[in-house]
């Protein structure tokens, strides 16, 4: 069955490329804006979209997301793959004739070296996402074009992991010389060669003429321009100095650009794999009491809030612990059953007041730690505080600099905090990590341990059947929301505005993917 | 067209039609201010012959400088306006000339010398350039020719080493030297007329004498007419052919200098002559002053401007403005009683007492001095920033070995030229500067290093009156607050009410009115402000007051009032004064004993009468010679030995006797050792090996 | 003169040491550090071990006095350190931005001087006339309008009227003067306007003061042409306070154009400053503060030397 789906996928890819072939033009340099800048060049140690946008076009990964059909995956350096029935063996057939930018040939050894570096980084190498590959027991290379991953236990997210935009395939030879080679050097097999990075200014890539996909890339090159200031970025977009910006625009800037440029631009919108969540410091009273936490969660009118806030901020969607619209996420009929998602807010508020009274804190006062970033943190913070005011809870809004915010949140120096959960892809393993016990999850700032959640988490991770996995996820969600250690407020909404002359780029719920620019072309 | 000018001779008068070089006729100048129109000059007329020296005399604000600037058409714009009159220069009315022709006259035909040599030269341009500038502009000389002429001019005004000094800047010149440079600039284009506006007021007496002599000699040798504007009657007596006395924007009197001084025909002139303490006459009981203040020119009184202060006032004086009329041949006066005055003299009109009363001898308790100063030294370190480099550090010996005693009720005068250290003496006594060595014993206690309560007590008993009555009063406090503040600090008054009563009492004592307690300093005149300064000092009920040049910023008539006030207060409150001044006549008038200082050292100490009658030290003699006496007859007879040279830099004083560089008696011996101050005659000390 | 220079340079040491201590301590007062910021600001699931290892790598786990000592000894041997964020030498990071900042500062200064001296003089000469009123209005507006706001207006005007904005990336002037100027002239104007306004007002008031001076009266009494009175006698004296203003403003422009550089997307010291401060990149912030402090001291020194050149009364020993 797996093989069939792979074949279908390949066919679909062919259809897309064949279908569009008549119109695509070669040439031109794509200029796009990036609001921040990669500090160094090692994919495995990076966490920022600002890294992905300029760096990803230089590399390939084993798999990648099938742009128009996200979250389906397709081969990037892998031509095809099989997964054993027990889910413990992944066998990849690699493409032939692939070369690194320095001319050296690519082989299975490079994949092995890359994943070993991620899963077991040598001394002095940072691997941020090591945990996601903890289930890998061994990597084998039976021949130059085959690589086999053996797992200790089944992992339902493994294919998604292999499509991660962070897992740039490096040259084994270079890694052998110096495991830190990628930190300062860009050498991949991707569609674009690295030309220049002018610190603070821009990043330039040129077409890799020996790229293994025939006729790609279409672009002669790209130029990522670092523009920190939001209004300067919008101005550059409006002037056509850059054709796109791939993180997202605010609703106001979208409207401004549409008004100024009319049909010269295209607007894409999608739910975003990011949400703002409220986390309680369960080590502090009264937040150790589930009734208080639940009361504060159900007092928030998410449905009304989403509608109102979407006009001014980059949030729009009501969802559970997984992104609304994701195949494993709760459908609305399930959602409204969860505490805090009911349509009758009056009833919810009455319940909230009752819970607070029961818990002995009818006139609760506390501080909400929030990040000093207006979009969307401040907007949502103000909204939530106003919701709480309506059940008689007084909350002070604390907005320190990002640095102090993170430090206080992590250090448990807060009552309640506006936290965020933002990942490169839709994946329960990633999104639920925020909710499992603090002794297992580095990003649980609520300082609680809940073994039931941990057990459900492990269970869903090993469940290869999507329907069964979904059922476990619903249970996880229900329990987490009943306890209310950490609860989602409103999910983000991604808005991309780009000039129409840029073609072949596909919108997705994540600003980390679909950025290799392989199929992008300019209609000039 | 500049040809005739360039070739013009130095002595031949150009005007054929008129014997007068300059005729000012019925000149009226107004200043438009936000508070109204100030009539600064009203109907002034005078004439100047080629080659003669004419003086304009009067107190500050009488319009004498304005009338001079009006001739140059350099009144401050846009406020100053010439509203009527004519100024004929060589027969041409300057007021009708287009600006560019007027500009050609300035500096070429009429040159001007100003009061402040320190600020009248541009600090960022070389002396040479500033002298050459008019030559280049008016005479079209080449650079080399102009430079040659500049060297010649510097030589003419007595500046040694002119070639080198041309490339120096004004700050490298002393005040006297700068005034010489100003004269050189004025002379550069061989002008017909030089207007000198208080040319020596800012200079020390010995330098003043040098400069005035230079001007007089040059004007005589080159046949240049001069208009000297001054408040100093001595200068007029010594140098002027004719004199115009001004009062409150109008002319009071005109005539030859000799006549006006001998026989004043206006009560104001008579008053002025009486108010000045004189070196040539014995001091009277008190100075006879002109009471009151000059009128405010924004709103002058009707009739004779002087009437409110005039002792010979009649009803007619107030009724109408008196015209200036000829009283005697070549004598003009604007007083309706001038003819009467010509007959009976000022005493006849009760303007002055016929026989001045002799002073009352003070009976001093000489048992114990109130203040005894022994071998006082105050040195200043002059260093550049942080003392990383030892050699960058220099020392100024501002006061070097001063000893004197002051008895209760006595006034000790301290005279000397600028830089002699007299002000530092005062500041050291006040403990505003730390003495480097020596001791000061006050009421039997050594206060040289006193601290804490002792210093506090001492500071209450020793007070000061400063020179500048304006800058020493806080402009944001009322007079009442200014006087009450120290009393409240020292808790001399119980409460606010007591303070108010005491302020009222003090104001009355210094001749002011109670209501003035509510005023601010800028609302008062200079003399009134000085009275406030005195009241503030008196508030502390001191026994000793340091008077640091208390009258030198004041006009003659006001100066006399303040001196009289100080003397009255001394008698009334048994005060003791250290009277610091550069004006020898004033010091003579007020002091019992006089100390003469030069470059930080005492030259001579003696009782007043002894010192002035029989000065021993050559410096004292030179000082006395240099002071012009307001009597042309005496001045004509006096031999003017002008002391040459300048006061050396205190950073680098001469070896041996500090005065030897300028002393007419100096010999090699004088350079060898610093002469001791020794008692040449009983109670008469001098520091000179030649006496 | 040489001795004076050495003296001044020696005096810099305690000043800079004070600055160093201050910036070092102030930076560390705020909770949080670069490691948390780098790995957690965008939601990565980073293990505490990675964070601890990174802190060790950057030396953040050492006691404060050791960190300070390391920094100072580094400076002593000419090693200003490695940026904690990019891992590149601090000197390289600054050098690549200094050229642009210097050019903008210089252009703004030239712009300010070229405007301020004639305008200030005219305003003083025609005091209270309509010319004066117009110039004063110009100057007041310059003080009231923040540079970055003027910059935004300039960009909007260019965008809306010409559908053009200045180039977004820097081209050195020796490579392509036209592109270079078309990028930098606008921020120079935006910044130079306020700068010229300050200098114009200073020039006006000092000219007014100087025109009251006795030596101006002397010059007029000599029959000097009025324009020479102003040009030769008044302006040079009036320049002294203006030179101070210009010097301090110039020093400020290196590193002070925090917002303006962002508005024009200039890759200068000011933008680097904000970025490194928000990143808590201690080594970079420390180096930048020291750079700006040194620059201020040097500019002050140059101003003092200019004083001596302009005013013969001032001579340094």
Q: Give pairs for A354-358: CB < 8 Å, separation 24+.
A: A355/A291, A355/A292, A355/A294, A355/A295, A356/A291, A356/A292, A356/A295, A356/A391, A356/A392, A356/A393, A358/A291
| Same domain? B397 vs B255 | no
| Same domain? B320 vs B420 | no
Residue of A183, A226, A407 lying closest to C36 (CB–CB): A407
DSSP letter for C89, please: B
| Inter-residue contact B186 to B111 (CB < 8 Å) | yes
Q: Which domain holds residue B199?
A: 5-109+189-348
Q: Which domain holds residue A364?
A: 271-493
| Same domain? B260 vs B393 | no
Chain A residues in contact with C36 (beta carbon < 8 A)? 403, 406-407, 410
Phi-psi sector, C199: left (phi>0), alpha (psi -120 to 50), beta: alpha
In C, residues 194-213, which contact B (CB 8 Å cutoff)? 213
Please report where in the chains the tokens 């025109």 appear, as a residue: C211
Cis peptide before A286 (omega within 30 of 0): yes
Q: Which of A307-316, A417-426, B462-471 has the lowest mean pLDDT?
A: B462-471
Give the residue from chain C lying closest to A242, CA to CA.
C168
In the three-class reduction of DSSP (H, G, I as helix; E, B as strand; rest coil), residue A416 is classed as strand
| Same domain? A428 vs A283 | yes
Report the pLDDT value the prediction gives residue A9, as an integer from 0 to 100.
41
Chain C residues in contact with B32 (beta carbon < 8 A)? none
Q: Minimal Cα–Cα distance from B67 to chain C, Å?
A: 14
Report the pLDDT value the prediction gives residue A22, as an integer from 0 to 100.
55
Asked if the Cβ–Cβ distance from C262 to A228 is below 8 Å, we say yes
Residue of A229, A407, A420 lying closest to C263 (CB–CB): A229
Count of structural domains within chain A: 2
Give the residue from chain B lying closest to C222, CA to CA.
B107
Domain assignment present for residue A230? The answer is no
Give the dihedral sign, CA C221/C223/C224/C230. positive
| Inter-residue contact B640 to B625 (CB < 8 Å) | yes
Chain B residues in contact with C7 (beta carbon < 8 A)? 385-386, 388-389
What lies within 8 Å, CB to CB, of B592 at 6+ separation is B362, B364, B410, B411, B412, B607, B608
Q: Minimal Cα–Cα distance from C126 to chain B, Å?
A: 11
Chain A within 8 Å of C54 (Cβ-Cβ)?
A: yes
In the three-class reduction of DSSP (H, G, I as helix; E, B as strand; rest coil), residue B233 is classed as helix
| Same domain? B542 vs B439 | yes
Domain assignment present for residue B154? The answer is no
Asked if the Cβ–Cβ distance from A236 to C165 is below 8 Å, we say yes
Report the pLDDT value the prediction gives residue A397, as an integer from 0 to 100.
96
Average pLDDT over residues B90-107: 93
Query: Per-residue pLDDT tens for B203-237?
Result: 888 888 888 888 888 888 888 999 999 988 888 88
Residue of C10, C218, C236 lying closest to B121 (CB–CB): C218
Residue of B119, B133, B388 lying closest to C222 (CB–CB): B133
Chain A within 8 Å of C41 (Cβ-Cβ)?
A: yes
Domain assignment present for residue A477? The answer is yes
Q: Minimal Cα–Cα distance from C4 to chain A, Å?
A: 40
Chain B within 8 Å of C227 (Cβ-Cβ)?
A: no
Q: Minimal Cα–Cα distance from B258 to chain C, Å?
A: 32
Q: Which of A18-32, A433-447, B523-537 has the lowest mean pLDDT?
A: A18-32
Average pLDDT over residues A25-36: 94
Domain assignment present for residue B150? The answer is no
| Same domain? B199 vs B76 | yes
C-alpha gyration radius of chain A: 24
Query: Per-residue pLDDT tens for A79-134?
Result: 999 999 999 999 999 999 999 999 999 999 999 999 999 999 998 898 988 888 99
Q: For residue A206, how many other CB atoms are within 10 A of its CB?
A: 16
Chain C residues in contact with B384 (beta carbon < 8 A)? 316-317
| Same domain? A146 vs A170 | yes
Report the percentage of chain C scoring pLDDT > 90: 58
| Same domain? B342 vs B375 | no
Report the pLDDT value the prediction gives residue B655, as an integer from 0 to 100.
87
The CA–CA distances, whole Å, from B362 to A306, B367, B408, B681, B684 equal 102, 15, 11, 22, 19
In the three-class reduction of DSSP (H, G, I as helix; E, B as strand; rest coil), residue B490 is classed as coil
Residue of A48, A200, A403 lying closest to C267 (CB–CB): A200
Residue of A184, A404, A422 lying closest to C32 (CB–CB): A404
Give the residue from chain C lying closest to B119, CA to CA.
C214
Report the percentage of chain B scoring pLDDT > 70: 95
Q: Which of B123, B182, B202, B651 to mutate to test the interface with C (most CBs of C within 10 A)?
A: B123
Angle at B571 between CA B568 and CA B574, to 5 degrees: 130
What's the pLDDT band for B315 if we cut at 50, 70, 90?
A: confident
Asked if the Cβ–Cβ distance from C96 to A200 is below 8 Å, we say yes
Residue of C40, C88, C168 lying closest to A241 (CB–CB): C168
- The CATH number covering residue A405 comes to 3.10.105.10
Domain assignment present for residue A207? The answer is no
Domain assignment present for residue A311? The answer is yes
Please report where in the chains the tokens 């990633």 appear, as a residue: A430
User: Mean pLDDT for chain B?
Assistant: 87
Chain C residues in contact with A404 (beta carbon < 8 A)? 30-32
Domain assignment present for residue A65? The answer is yes
Nearest to C109 by CA among C164, C200, C191: C191
Tokens standing for B15?
A: 């005007």
Q: Is A310 exposed, middle or buried (0-12, 13-18, 19+ CB in 10 A)?
A: middle
| Same domain? A510 vs A464 | no
| Inter-residue contact A227 to A34 (CB < 8 Å) | yes
Q: Is A22 exposed, middle or buried (0-12, 13-18, 19+ CB in 10 A)?
A: exposed
Q: Minimal Cα–Cα distance from C31 to chain A, Å?
A: 5
Q: For residue B472, how many other CB atoms are within 10 A of its CB?
A: 18
Q: Which of A42-56, A381-395, B627-641 has the lowest mean pLDDT?
A: B627-641
**At residue B388, does pLDDT exceed 50?**
no
| Same domain? B561 vs B667 | yes
Domain assignment present for residue B160? The answer is no
Residue of C165, C271, C278 lying closest to A239 (CB–CB): C165
Asked if the Cβ–Cβ distance from C10 to B122 is below 8 Å, we say no
Report the pLDDT value the prediction gives residue B393, as an integer from 0 to 100.
58
Give the residue from chain C lying closest to A40, CA to CA.
C86
Strands across the sheet containing B445-446: B394-406, B371-382, B437-442, B445-446
- The CATH number covering residue A28 comes to 3.90.76.10
Number of A–C residue contacts, CB under 8 Å: 143
Report the pLDDT value the prediction gives residue B5, as an integer from 0 to 100.
33
φ and ψ at residue B633, rounded to 5 degrees: -65, -50
Asked if the Cβ–Cβ distance from B74 to C213 is below 8 Å, we say no
| Same domain? A148 vs A284 | no
Select from B300, B316, B348 the last residue of a domain.
B348
Q: Which of A47, A231, A264 to mutate to test the interface with C (most CBs of C within 10 A)?
A: A47
Asked if the Cβ–Cβ distance from C265 to A225 is below 8 Å, we say yes
Tokens standing for A382?
A: 């103000």
Asked if the Cβ–Cβ distance from A126 to C85 is below 8 Å, we say no
Q: For residue B383, how many other CB atoms are within 10 A of its CB?
A: 14
Asked if the Cβ–Cβ distance from A49 to C88 is below 8 Å, we say no
DSSP letter for B649, please: P
| Same domain? A426 vs A508 | no
Asked if the Cβ–Cβ distance from C224 to B124 is below 8 Å, we say no
- The CATH number covering residue B89 comes to 3.40.50.300
Chain CA centroid to CA B292, Å = 21
Query: Per-residue pLDDT tens for B159-204?
Result: 888 999 999 999 888 888 899 999 999 999 999 999 999 888 878 8
| Same domain? A304 vs A172 | no
Residue of C7, C215, C226 lying closest to B388 (CB–CB): C7
Residue with the bigger pLDDT between B94 and B351: it is B94
| Same domain? A453 vs A518 | no
| Same domain? B341 vs B385 | no
Asked if the Cβ–Cβ distance from C317 to B120 is below 8 Å, we say no
The crossing angle, in degrees rounded to 10, of helices B526-539 and B479-489 is 20
Q: What is this model's ipTM?
A: 0.90
| Same domain? B341 vs B382 | no
Strands across the sheet containing B242-247: B110-113, B193-197, B225-230, B53-57, B242-247, B250-256, B331-333, B325-328
- Which regions of chain C are under pLDDT 70? 316-317
| Same domain? A288 vs A183 | no
Q: Where along chain C do its domains lie?
A: 97-316
Please report where in the chains the tokens 């422009």 appear, as a residue: C253
Report the pLDDT value the prediction gives residue B383, as an integer from 0 to 100.
55
Domain assignment present for residue A364? The answer is yes
Please report where in the chains the tokens 């001091």 appear, as a residue: B283
| Same domain? B641 vs B496 | yes
Q: Which of A245-254, A312-321, A497-506, C30-39 has the lowest mean pLDDT?
A: C30-39
Distance CA A193, CA B106 (A): 80
Residue of A48, A199, A402 lying closest to C278 (CB–CB): A402
Please report where in the chains the tokens 């090591």 appear, as a residue: A130
Q: Which fold is adopted by the domain C97-316?
A: MetI-like fold (1.10.3720)
| Inter-residue contact B684 to B659 (CB < 8 Å) | no
pTM: 0.81
Asked if the Cβ–Cβ distance from A200 to C280 is below 8 Å, we say no
Domain assignment present for residue B133? The answer is no
């Amino acid at each position: 069955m797996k093989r069939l789906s792979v074949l279908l996928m390949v066919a679909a890819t062919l259809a897309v490329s064949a279908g569009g072939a008549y119109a695509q033009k070669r040439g031109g340099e794509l200029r796009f804006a990036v609001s921040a800048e990669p500090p160094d060049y090692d994919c495995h140690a990076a966490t920022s979209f600002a890294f992905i946008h300029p760096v990803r076009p230089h590399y390939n990964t084993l798999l990648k997301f099938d742009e128009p059909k996200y979250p389906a995956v397709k081969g990037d350096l892998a031509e095809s793959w099989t997964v054993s029935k027990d889910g413990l063996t992944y066998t990849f057939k690699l493409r032939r004739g692939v070369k690194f930018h320095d001319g050296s040939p690519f082989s299975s050894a490079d994949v092995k070296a890359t994943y070993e570096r991620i899963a077991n980084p040598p001394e002095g190498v940072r691997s941020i996402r090591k945990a996601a590959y903890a289930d890998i027991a061994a990597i084998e290379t039976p021949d130059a074009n085959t690589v086999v991953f053996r797992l200790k236990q089944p992992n339902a997210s493994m294919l998604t992991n292999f499509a991660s935009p962070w897992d740039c395939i490096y040259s084994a030879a270079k890694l052998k010389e110096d495991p830190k080679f990628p930190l300062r050097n860009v050498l991949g097999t991707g569609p674009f060669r690295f030309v220049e990075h002018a610190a603070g200014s821009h990043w330039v890539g040129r077409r890799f003429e020996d790229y293994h996909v025939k006729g790609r890339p279409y672009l002669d090159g790209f130029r990522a321009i670092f523009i920190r200031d939001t209004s300067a970025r919008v101005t550059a977009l409006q002037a056509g100095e850059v054709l796109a910006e791939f993180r997202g625009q605010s609703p106001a800037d979208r409207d401004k650009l549409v008004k100024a440029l009319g049909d010269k631009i295209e607007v894409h919108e999608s739910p975003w794999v990011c949400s703002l969540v409220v986390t309680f410091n369960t080590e502090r009273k009264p937040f150790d009491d589930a009734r208080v936490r639940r009361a504060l969660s159900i007092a928030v009118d998410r449905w009304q809030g989403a509608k109102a806030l979407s006009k001014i901020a980059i949030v729009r969607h009501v969802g559970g612990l997984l992104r609304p619209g994701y195949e494993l996420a709760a459908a609305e009929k399930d959602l409204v059953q969860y505490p805090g998602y009911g349509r009758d807010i009056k009833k919810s508020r009455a319940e909230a007041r009752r819970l607070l009274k029961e818990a002995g804190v009818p006139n609760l006062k506390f501080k909400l730690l929030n990040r000093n970033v207006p979009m969307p943190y401040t907007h949502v913070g103000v909204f939530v505080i106003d919701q709480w005011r309506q059940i008689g809870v007084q909350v002070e809004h604390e907005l320190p600099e990002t640095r102090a915010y993170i430090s206080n949140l992590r250090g448990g120096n807060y009552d309640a905090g506006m936290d965020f959960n933002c990942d490169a892809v839709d994946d329960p393993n990633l999104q639920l990590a925020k909710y499992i016990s603090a002794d297992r999850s580095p990003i649980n700032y609520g300082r609680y341990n809940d073994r039931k959640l941990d057990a459900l988490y492990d269970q869903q991770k090993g469940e290869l059947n999507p329907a069964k996995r979904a059922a476990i996820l619903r249970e996880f969600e229900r329990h987490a929301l009943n306890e209310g250690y950490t609860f989602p407020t409103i999910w983000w909404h991604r808005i991309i505005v780009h000039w129409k002359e840029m073609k072949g780029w596909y919108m997705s719920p994540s600003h980390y993917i679909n950025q290799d620019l392989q199929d992008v072309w300019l209609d000039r | 067209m500049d040809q005739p000018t360039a070739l013009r001779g130095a002595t031949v008068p150009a005007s054929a039609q008129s014997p007068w070089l300059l005729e000012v006729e019925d000149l009226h100048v107004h200043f438009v201010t936000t508070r109204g129109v100030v009539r600064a000059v009203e109907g002034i007329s005078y004439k100047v012959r080629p080659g003669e020296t004419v003086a304009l005399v009067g107190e500050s604000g009488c319009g004498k400088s304005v009338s001079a600037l009006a001739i140059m058409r350099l009144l401050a714009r846009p406020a100053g306006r010439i509203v009527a009159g004519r100024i004929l220069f060589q027969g041409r009315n300057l007021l009708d000339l287009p600006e560019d022709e007027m500009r050609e006259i300035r500096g070429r035909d009429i040159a001007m010398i100003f009061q402040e040599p320190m600020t009248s030269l541009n600090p960022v341009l070389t002396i040479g350039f500033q002298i050459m500038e008019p030559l280049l502009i008016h005479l079209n000389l080449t650079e080399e020719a102009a430079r040659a002429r500049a060297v010649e001019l510097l030589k003419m005004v007595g500046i040694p080493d002119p070639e080198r000094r041309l490339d120096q800047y004004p700050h490298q010149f002393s005040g006297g030297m700068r005034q010489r440079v100003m004269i050189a600039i004025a002379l550069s284009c061989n002008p017909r007329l030089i207007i000198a506006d208080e040319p020596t007021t800012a200079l020390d007496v010995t330098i003043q004498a040098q400069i005035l002599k230079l001007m007089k000699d040059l004007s005589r040798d080159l046949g240049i007419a001069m208009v000297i504007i001054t408040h100093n009657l001595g200068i007029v007596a010594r140098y002027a052919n004719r004199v115009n006395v001004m009062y409150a924007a109008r002319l009071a009197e005109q005539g030859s200098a000799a006549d006006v001084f001998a026989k004043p025909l206006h009560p104001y002139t008579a008053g002025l002559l009486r108010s000045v303490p004189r070196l040539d006459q014995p001091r009277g009981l008190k100075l006879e002053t002109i009471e009151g203040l000059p009128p405010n020119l924004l709103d002058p009184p009707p009739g004779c401007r002087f009437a409110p202060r005039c002792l010979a006032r009649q009803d007619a004086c107030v009724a109408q403005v008196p015209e200036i009329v000829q009283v005697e041949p070549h004598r003009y006066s604007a007083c309706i009683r001038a003819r009467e005055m010509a007959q009976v003299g000022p005493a006849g009109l009760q303007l002055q007492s016929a026989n001045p009363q002799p002073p009352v001898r003070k009976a001093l308790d000489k048992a114990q001095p109130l203040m005894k100063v022994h071998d006082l030294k105050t040195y200043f370190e002059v260093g550049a920033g942080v003392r990383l480099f030892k050699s960058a550090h220099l020392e100024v010996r501002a006061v070097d070995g001063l000893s004197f005693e002051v008895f209760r009720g006595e006034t000790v005068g301290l005279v000397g030229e600028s830089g002699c250290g007299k002000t530092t003496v005062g500041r050291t006594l006040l403990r505003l500067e730390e003495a480097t060595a020596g001791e000061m014993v006050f009421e039997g206690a050594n206060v040289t290093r006193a601290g804490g309560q002792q210093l506090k007590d001492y500071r209450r008993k020793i007070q000061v009156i400063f020179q500048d009555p304006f800058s020493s009063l806080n402009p944001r406090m009322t007079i009442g607050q200014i006087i009450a503040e120290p009393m409240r600090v020292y808790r001399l008054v119980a409460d606010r009410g007591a303070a108010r009563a005491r302020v009222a009492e003090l104001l009355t004592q210094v001749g002011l009115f109670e209501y003035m307690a509510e005023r601010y300093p800028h609302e008062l005149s200079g003399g009134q402000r000085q009275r406030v300064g005195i009241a503030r000092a008196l508030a502390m009920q001191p026994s000793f007051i340091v008077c640091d040049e208390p009258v030198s910023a004041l006009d003659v008539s006001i100066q006399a009032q303040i001196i009289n006030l100080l003397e009255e207060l001394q008698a009334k409150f048994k005060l003791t004064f250290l009277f610091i001044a550069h004006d020898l006549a004033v010091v003579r008038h007020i002091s019992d004993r006089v100390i003469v200082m030069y470059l930080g050292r005492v030259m001579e100490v003696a009782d007043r009468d002894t010192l002035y009658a029989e000065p021993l030290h050559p410096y004292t003699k030179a000082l006395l010679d240099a002071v012009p006496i307001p009597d042309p007859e005496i001045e004509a007879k006096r031999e003017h030995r002008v002391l040459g040279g300048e006061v050396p830099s205190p950073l680098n004083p001469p070896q041996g006797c500090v005065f030897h560089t300028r002393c007419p008696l100096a010999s090699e011996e004088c350079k060898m050792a610093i002469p001791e101050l020794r008692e040449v005659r009983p109670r008469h000390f001098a520091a000179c090996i030649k006496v | 003169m040489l001795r004076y220079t050495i003296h001044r340079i020696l005096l810099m040491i305690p000043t800079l040491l004070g600055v160093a201590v201050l910036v070092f301590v102030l930076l560390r007062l705020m909770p949080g550090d670069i490691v948390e910021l780098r790995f957690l600001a965008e939601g990565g699931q980073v293990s505490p071990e990675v964070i601890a290892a990174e802190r060790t790598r950057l030396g953040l786990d050492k006691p404060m006095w050791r960190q300070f000592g390391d920094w100072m000894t580094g400076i002593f041997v000419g090693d200003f350190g490695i940026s904690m964020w990019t891992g590149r030498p601090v000197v390289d990071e600054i050098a690549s931005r200094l050229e642009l900042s210097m050019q903008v500062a210089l252009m703004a200064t030239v712009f300010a001087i070229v405007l301020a001296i004639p305008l200030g003089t005219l305003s003083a000469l025609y005091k209270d006339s309509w010319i004066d009123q117009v110039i004063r209005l110009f100057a007041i507006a310059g003080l009231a309008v923040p540079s970055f706001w003027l910059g935004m207006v300039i960009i909007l005007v260019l965008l809306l009227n010409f559908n053009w904005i200045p180039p977004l990336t820097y081209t050195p002037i020796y490579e392509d003067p036209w592109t270079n100027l078309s990028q930098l002239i606008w921020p120079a104007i935006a910044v130079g306007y306020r700068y010229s306004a300050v200098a114009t007002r200073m020039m006006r008031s000092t000219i007014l003061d100087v025109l009251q001076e006795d030596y101006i009266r002397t010059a007029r009494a000599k029959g000097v042409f009025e324009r020479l009175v102003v040009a030769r006698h008044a302006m040079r004296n009036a320049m002294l306070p203006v030179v101070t203003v210009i010097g301090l403003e110039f020093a400020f422009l290196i590193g002070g154009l925090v917002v303006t550089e962002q508005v024009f997307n200039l890759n200068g010291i000011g933008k680097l400053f904000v970025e490194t401060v928000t990143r808590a990149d201690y080594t970079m912030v420390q180096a930048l503060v020291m750079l700006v402090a040194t620059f201020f001291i040097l500019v002050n020194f140059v101003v003092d030397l200019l004083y001596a050149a302009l005013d013969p009364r001032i001579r340094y020993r």
